[in-house]
Structures are given as C-alpha cells and as structure tokens.
Amino acid sequence: MGPQSDWELFKEKAAAVQVVITEITDVPAAFAYAVDLTTKQGGKAMAAFGWDDQNAALAAACSQAGVALVLDNLREHAATLHTALTLADWGIAATGSLVLDSRSEDLRLATMLVETHVAVLPVSRLRPDSLALEAEMMRLMASPPSYLAFITGASRTADIERVLTIGVHGPQELHLLILKDQES
C-alpha cells in the first residue's frame, strides 16, 4: 500500500478527535449547512467571519431560517451565540488541525464562546505539516501583533481528576466543511 495523500491523512487525524467532516462544492452549501445545523441544535444566533464579500447571501440564509447573524461586536452578543462559521486559513494533514489567523478579537471570541464551530477549509489550503506553513507564518508575523489559532478537534480537557471533558474551554463540536476548489 502506498503512502497516504495529505487529504486522506487529514481526514484520518481529524476524525480521530471527533471532527465531523463533510465535503461541499460551494460556499452557499457551507451557509446552508451552518444555518441548518444551528436550527437543528436549537440555536438562535450565529457569528460568521471570513465571508465579507458574501455577507448578504449569508444574512439571507440566516433570516430565512430565523437565525440572527452576528458579524461584529461579539462581546455584546456572547450570551446568545450558538454557532460560529469561519473560513480556515490552512489545514495541517499530519495533525488534522486547522489554522486561523485570529488577530480579530471577534474571531477569537467566536471560536471560543460558541457551542458549535463550523469551519470551511478549501482543499488548496491543506498542507502536509506545520513546516510547510513556515513562509505563510513568517509573513503573518512580520507585522505584529499577530495571533494564530491552531484548532485540533472540539475543546477538550482532562484537568479535573483526569476525566476527559468536552467543551469546557471552547466549542463542544467542530464541524469541518471541505470546500472543493473551483476550477478556473
């Protein structure tokens, strides 16, 4: 048997930490997934980041389902947020991790305060390991302050009597939508 592809390895590593993985073909499918998941789980509000040029379409999908869309000032809405929909900057196959440029405090709050995090990763943004991200990270760190979040699965801890607990320091669920890149 030959070596695994980066994509196969990524799926294996992410599944090992209970990431729900779904392949999608376009951004509207991501919006529909996040809105549907929010309503199925009883959520009433969703934060979204990385969709600036498509916020109108996302707002329409949310409005149709009765989900409030929060795009900024998350501190004011922290108590009502259920879901965060983000666009991941990179994925790391070796660990099944997502990397987000989290300089925005609102993005950090969104990925920490919600019950469910839905992240979208374009296939072209997948890297074999963290060393393959060196150039991108050096570029980001050239103009501090910078904040990168490495997310591997839902929040988990075993701090209390070595009992694994999910969702204490962040989302209880991580859903990853793999966006197949559009051919030019």
Residue 65 predicted with pLDDT over 80: yes
Taking only the tens place, the pLDDT of each residue in 137-183 is 888 888 876 788 888 876 544 455 654 444 445 578 899 999 987 54
> Domain 6-179: which topology?
Rossmann fold (3.40.50)
Model confidence at 128, pLDDT cuts 50, 70, 90, reads very high
| Helices 27-40 and 55-65, packing angle to 10 deg | 30
CB-based contacts of 134, cutoff 8 Å, min separation 6: none
- What whole-number distance in Å separates Cα of residue 24 and Cα of residue 181? 10
- What whole-number distance in Å separates Cα of residue 136 and Cα of residue 138? 6
What residue ranges do the domains of the chain occupy?
Answer: 6-179
Residue 112 predicted with pLDDT over 50: yes
Q: What is the pLDDT, as a whole number, of residue 132?
A: 95
Residue 135 predicted with pLDDT over 60: yes
Helices (H), 52-170: 55-65, 105-113, 134-141
Helices (H), the chain: 6-16, 27-40, 55-65, 105-113, 134-141
> Higher-confidence residue: 74 or 162?
74
